[in-house]
Amino acid sequence: EMLTYNEAVDLIKIRRNSNIQYELTNNKIVQDTINGCRGLPLAISIIAGLNLQHDEEWQDVNEIVTSQDFPPESHNYNYNLFGTFQLSVNQLEQHVQGLFYMLGVFKASKIPLQSIIALWNIRHLKAIALLQNLHKRSLLKYVDGQSRYCELHDLMISYLGQHIHQQNDVKSVNKKLISGYKAQCNGKWFTHEDDGYYFQNLIYHTIQADDIDALEQVLNDFNWMTAKIKVDQTIYNLCQDINDGTKYLKENNVETWKKYKEIRIILERYEYLLEIDKIDMVQVLLVLGDKIDWIKEQALKSIEENKEKFDYWKILESRYKDEEFEKSRKRIGKNDDDDSIAVSNPRYGDLRIIGTENNDSVDCQIVIKDYKSTKTESSISCSNLCIENVAISADGRIIAIQKDVDEWNVYNIDQNNEMKMLKFEDNTQSLQFSELKFCPTLQDNSVIFMTLSHDDTQIKIWNVNGNQINLSNKVISSPNCMYWIEWIHNGSKIILWWIRYEEKDGEPMDKNNRINECQIEIWCLQSWERLQVFIVPSVIVERYDQYLIVKNWKDYKHNESNRLDDVGYISNHGRSLVLQYGGIVGLLTIENSNLNPINCVDQFTNTFHLLLRDASNVVVADSLQPAYISVITRDGKCVTVFKIIHNQEQYYFKIPFICLPSMLFIPESNRLLIYNSNQTLSEYDLQGDPYDFYSYKTVNVCDVNPLTCCPLIVDNLPWNSVKGNLQIHDVSVVQATSSHKELDKSYAVIGNEIISVHLIAIGEIYKLKAYGYNGRSKIRICSHTLDQYYQRCFIFDDCQSVILIRGCNYKVTTITQLVDFQRKGGDLALNENGAQFKTLCQYKCKKHYLEEQVKYMKLRYRKEDQTLITIIGMKDDLLQLDTVIAINLDGKRQIMINNNEKNDHYCLIKSFMPNEILYFDEYYLITNDFDDIRPIKCYKLGDGTNPTRLIKDLQSRSDDVYKFILPINMATNDLEMVKWSFTDDRQKLMQYYGEKAVKWMDRRKQENNIIIIEKGKYSYITSHFWKSSLLKMKNNDNVIELPYYVKFNFDELMRDKYLIYHDDVAKNIYVVDGTTWKLSQILLFPYFEIHRIKWNNEQKLMVVF
């Protein structure tokens, strides 16, 4: 804001020395000078700092200010502003001038004192005195306080930068800054103080200094990377720095640029796994960069340089298959209900993405993030609401959320308020629609969206003007329900379709006169006219690889699954319809015709070409050429992408997924986003450079095999460094060879060694192989040919037998003991000549009990009396049957169990609702049924002589809290049970478990009871309706909350050194210090589906499988 003449005079009086008496008012020279500055406060302040006392001095300044000889940076002010700056600088001492000019090296206008000291290489107090002097002259603004810094006006930065460039001092001044930084941290870049500038700009200044050595030192410092990420609170900035560094090195023909690009690729690919506040780049690269030798070596070096003592883990051996396909992965959402996302159009600015976090919970919120950095730009709290859908406008300013089936709310996120609707002639005052979709492009620089009425018969087009939503005069009405509406051709057109007969509850109202036809319409948004109509069959039948039209109602009912579900449109050197009939997806070629409508029914069999069977969802990208069709299979384990050229599928490739994904294309691009149900977002640039991101090539077939799940063996080994003893844990990754089919595997600790057994099929031959792990390598112990086909194998801690299971998928299940699996001379060995197989039990399920097959098996081994405990679970839609069998391995007779006989060796558990096993060990089984009374049952497991007994049968209420106290010595003492009322006994609970744990219980007790399982000083607290749990240790206020997607093996709670649990969504393993109950380390294993984690007795060896 420019100053008036009087305001400028007042400012000069305030800023100049108080002893100057020169008259400013009614002084023509002063007035001409002020007018020449156009009232710019910066110029007036600098003139005041000159302390002019005579007419001659004012005249000299006036001549410089009004001079027309000024640099381009001053053109907007139409006077010599830089000349004014120069007058003030000239009054400084020569060495102070040099120091002031050096400030032009900084990128930001706000420069921390610590960075200035590094540049000037002077003492702290002297630097402050110089800055205060420059402040008095208005050359900069010095701020004193807890964080000391100076601020430079943008024009002053330009002035100083121009001077440095004119003097060719860019390299030398940047070198001085880098040298100063290095001196401040003694060459350990990660130890430098976070002054708000250093971590953000260090790479930039090493490049400007042309200092390759310093640049590589920083890029090799993984501890510095950790510090930078935590300071920036994003990984994106580090990736940009590494990218700038590699680009500079490449331009200077330094071959090491390829090394650092490998780090950037790892970060971009696995960004979604990394937790910013807990990240340790040394640990990240030890695991994710285990195949790259230089990264492993440098990570170990970084450990030595770090004074802090941590436990680290490194991979010794790895043979997993880790394909790279995505351009990037990101983490969006936090729970299973976070299943809806949308993106803006990058044409209108930075790409924004909208989604939910903790949907349908007390912490539910809508988040709008910057797509590149994933930083949250805006959020809306939606506590305890279930968000059905989200949408975002092309420019990323307007969002819509569907809070109920037909209720939408629209927000302007830039203004942070909800938008209002005008009252219309039809009394519409709220957005109650079944569908709301923003146009992917702006129309006449305005945001528009279309809606489908809650009865699915009417489309309306809406305009967003300011903070109001206006209804346009564009409306489409249909005599019957519209099943699909979508924007196509970059928002210039709309596609919709409806069935040409009336329905009720999914069936034709007039079955005798039903017409097996659907009408597909293409509308032009601008002219609002119907451009084209296509008639296609509504239901088809597949016979002998042909697709025929259903003629009668009986065939219609039989083939209802092949009903039209989804429609897409491609006009690419011709016209094609993408049609999905149930699980069948194909292209319907449209011949050139002037007819409107075009009836495609008669020639459907000849013009419909299959793309894929067993599909669940289809999206089409038609904005660019070629067009792409992306299809998800019904099992959710694969996405197939087809490239369409000249209206024919030319190429395709497959992408494996473990969790059911959803898909969308970024508007006006061929960038495919796949959003996995484990809250990870993967991007695939279908026309990108495969060298940069993933191996998509123009070939007829490019199949991708799912990643192989492999076990991990972890060993705790000491690493001696000059700074002290740091613990380096070794991880060994193993898998069966590709020529063998691994049927099953099991792990146990025998004599404090990790032992694994593997069932292997080699053609018609079945083998059992055993391996031992000594912390450095895997040792093959034995290989034994089995007497017949088995499906499962189990080995248990300090048990000398292998348990083999046959008939898991049939009515009779046989449990066999391989007796001669025993220890010899410190090694586990099998007698090749005298193997003994002993049938322990045959379990037969009668057909009148259940039609279903065995669904799961759980086995435990009780060492004290050599008893094998087996749970065989069978279930169908109505009934669950769990059979608990106790067998003493020393017994000599075979046990035959029919489920309609009495037998002391087993206990039959029947329930008519799903039965949840809360706890299962060698002595006790605790279950919780999900019926109306939610009974909790506790069983004391038998031993082959004494039967399994039901010892507790509790009818629970939502206010109840049940605590089961497990004895330390289970062989001699019994389990205890305590029942509390949360309302009446809240103070007792507070006393036992603390405020944090009680608050957690309070949030979850409304829909289900609270169950506590306690052993020694550890407590496991759960509420199974919420499928979440809490871990608590006595005399420690810390609690560990485990979301529903975190798997925890209760056995691990009994350890004193470490607690281990893993996150199915993030693919992380969390290591908690057993003494402090604080997180010690996070291990990232994105290549594995982790099923179980097991320690050895001393917690020095761990197996993950």
Please, are residues 312 and 1081 in contact by the beta-carbon 8 Å criterion? yes
CB atoms within 10 A of CB 738: 8
Overall average pLDDT of the 115-129 stretch: 92
Rounded-to-integer distance, Cα 904 and Cα 943, Å: 10
Alpha-carbon dihedral sign for residues 199, 203, 204, 209: positive
Q: What is the pLDDT of residue 722?
A: 26
Rounded-to-integer distance, Cα 654 and Cα 632, Å: 10
Please, are residues 80 and 65 in contact by the beta-carbon 8 Å criterion? yes
Q: Decide if pLDDT at 69 tops 60.
A: no
Diameter of the chain by CA atoms?
A: 121
Place of tokens 């307007």: 398
Q: What is the pLDDT of residue 557?
A: 56
Overall average pLDDT of the 136-144 stretch: 84
Q: 202-206, 646-650, 1022-1026: which has the minimum mean pLDDT?
A: 1022-1026
Overall average pLDDT of the 1086-1097 stretch: 70
Rounded-to-integer distance, Cα 441 and Cα 451, Å: 16
Q: Which of 552, 477, 479, 539 minimizes the C-alpha distance to 506?
A: 539
Q: 122-131, 191-200, 336-345, 651-660: which has the minimum mean pLDDT?
A: 651-660
Of 445 and 899, the one with more pLDDT = 445
- Specify the DSSP class assigned to residue 277: G
Model confidence at 933, pLDDT cuts 50, 70, 90, reads low
Please, are residues 883 and 871 in contact by the beta-carbon 8 Å criterion? yes
Q: Which of 188, 245, 239, 237 minimizes the C-alpha distance to 216?
A: 245
Please, are residues 1029 and 1036 in contact by the beta-carbon 8 Å criterion? no
Report CA-CA distances (Å) from 418 to 341, 387, 421. 19, 16, 10
Q: Decide if pLDDT at 1014 tops 70.
A: yes
Q: CA-based angle 126:127:131, to the nearest 5?
A: 115
Q: Which of 432, 562, 417, 438 minimizes the C-alpha distance to 490?
A: 438
Please, are residues 756 and 1103 in contact by the beta-carbon 8 Å criterion? yes
Q: Decide if pLDDT at 357 tops 70.
A: yes
CB atoms within 10 A of CB 313: 22
Please name the residues in contact with 1020: beta carbons below 8 A apart, sequence gap of 6 or more: 1012, 1013, 1014, 1029, 1030, 1031, 1048, 1050, 1053
Q: Which of 36-40, 48-52, 72-76, 528-532 has the highest mean pLDDT?
A: 528-532
Six-digit token string for 853: 């097959």
Overall average pLDDT of the 993-1003 stretch: 86
Q: What is the pLDDT of residue 309?
A: 56
597's enclosing H/E stretch is none
Alpha-carbon dihedral sign for residues 1094, 1095, 1096, 1102: positive
pLDDT tens for each residue of 213-250: 999 999 999 999 999 999 998 899 999 999 999 999 99
Model confidence at 198, pLDDT cuts 50, 70, 90, reads very high
Please, are residues 437 and 391 in contact by the beta-carbon 8 Å criterion? yes
Q: 369-378, 420-429, 734-743, 772-781: which has the minimum mean pLDDT?
A: 420-429
Rounded-to-integer distance, Cα 395 and Cα 343, Å: 10
Place of tokens 């694969």: 638
Six-digit token string for 443: 């129309």
Q: Decide if pLDDT at 653 tops 80.
A: no
Model confidence at 553, pLDDT cuts 50, 70, 90, reads low
Q: Decide if pLDDT at 921 tops 90.
A: no
Please name the residues in contact with 216: beta carbons below 8 A apart, sequence gap of 6 or more: 249, 256
Q: How many residues does the chain have?
A: 1105
Q: Strand 420-421 vs strand 468-477: parallel, antiparallel, or unpaired? A: parallel
Q: Decide if pLDDT at 422 tops 90.
A: no
Q: What is the pLDDT of residue 86?
A: 75
Q: What is the DSSP string of 839-896?
A: EEEEEE--TTT-SS-EEEEEEEEETTTTEEEEEEEEE-SS-EEEEEEEEETT--S-EE
Distance from chain centroid for Cα 389:
19
State which amino acid sits at residue 715.
Answer: D
Rounded-to-integer distance, Cα 274 and Cα 271, Å: 5
Task: State yes or no: cis peptide before 41, omega within 30 of 0.
Answer: no
CB atoms within 10 A of CB 790: 24
The tally of CA atoms less than 13 A away on the side-chain side of residue 1040 is: 26
Model confidence at 1067, pLDDT cuts 50, 70, 90, reads confident
Q: What is the pLDDT of residue 925?
A: 87
Distance from chain centroid for Cα 336:
12
Of 215 and 59, the one with more pLDDT = 215
Rounded-to-integer distance, Cα 940 and Cα 975, Å: 9
Rounded-to-integer distance, Cα 1059 and Cα 1095, Å: 10
Of 551 and 567, the one with more pLDDT = 567
The per-residue pLDDT of the chain, averaged, comes to 78
Please name the residues in contact with 306: beta carbons below 8 A apart, sequence gap of 6 or more: 190, 223, 282, 723
Place of tokens 């510090």: 227
Q: Decide if pLDDT at 344 tops 60.
A: yes
- Spell 652-670 as b/e; 16+ CB within 10 A means b: bbbbebbebbbbbbbbbbb
State which amino acid sits at residue 444.
Answer: D
Six-digit token string for 149: 């810094």
Rounded-to-integer distance, Cα 825 and Cα 846, Å: 47
Task: State yes or no: cis peptide before 597, omega within 30 of 0.
Answer: yes
Model confidence at 798, pLDDT cuts 50, 70, 90, reads confident
Q: What is the pLDDT of residue 248?
A: 96
The torsion angles phi and psi of 353, rounded to 5 degrees, stand at: -130, 140
Q: Which of 213, 154, 148 minimizes the C-alpha distance to 179?
A: 213
Q: Decide if pLDDT at 455 tops 80.
A: yes
Q: 233-247, 281-295, 1037-1051: which has the minimum mean pLDDT?
A: 1037-1051
Strand partners, 642: 629, 652
Model confidence at 335, pLDDT cuts 50, 70, 90, reads confident
Rounded-to-integer distance, Cα 322 and Cα 320, Å: 6
Q: Which of 822, 787, 788, 816 minimizes the C-alpha distance to 804?
A: 816
Rg (alpha carbons) of the chain, rounded to whole number: 36
The tally of CA atoms less than 13 A away on the side-chain side of residue 968 is: 4
% residues pLDDT > 90 (the chain):
21
Overall average pLDDT of the 493-517 stretch: 74
Q: CA-based angle 1015:1076:1002, to the nearest 5?
A: 60
Rounded-to-integer distance, Cα 483 and Cα 480, Å: 9
Of 473 and 317, the one with more pLDDT = 473
Rounded-to-integer distance, Cα 152 and Cα 109, Å: 5
Q: 31-35, 203-207, 366-370: which has the minimum mean pLDDT?
A: 31-35
pLDDT tens for each residue of 864-889: 888 888 888 776 555 566 778 888 88
Q: Strand 895-898 vs strand 837-844: parallel, antiparallel, or unpaired? A: parallel
% residues pLDDT > 70 (the chain):
74
Rounded-to-integer distance, Cα 945 and Cα 890, Å: 11
Overall average pLDDT of the 519-536 stretch: 93
Strand partners, 824: 827
Q: What is the pLDDT of residue 877?
A: 52
Q: What is the pLDDT of residue 1084?
A: 78
Report CA-CA distances (Å) from 267 to 196, 208, 231, 375. 23, 25, 17, 16
Q: What is the pLDDT of residue 420?
A: 72
Q: What is the pLDDT of residue 932?
A: 54
Q: Decide if pLDDT at 296 tops 90.
A: no
Q: Decide if pLDDT at 729 tops 60.
A: no
Q: What is the pLDDT of residue 934?
A: 66
pLDDT tens for each residue of 753-769: 778 888 898 878 888 88
Q: What is the pLDDT of residue 698?
A: 26
Taking each helix axis as running N to C, give the angle between helix 281-288 and helix 293-305, from 0 to 180 degrees, rounded to the nearest 10: 160
Rounded-to-integer distance, Cα 144 and Cα 129, Å: 11
7's enclosing H/E stretch is helix 5-15
Six-digit token string for 724: 């002290």
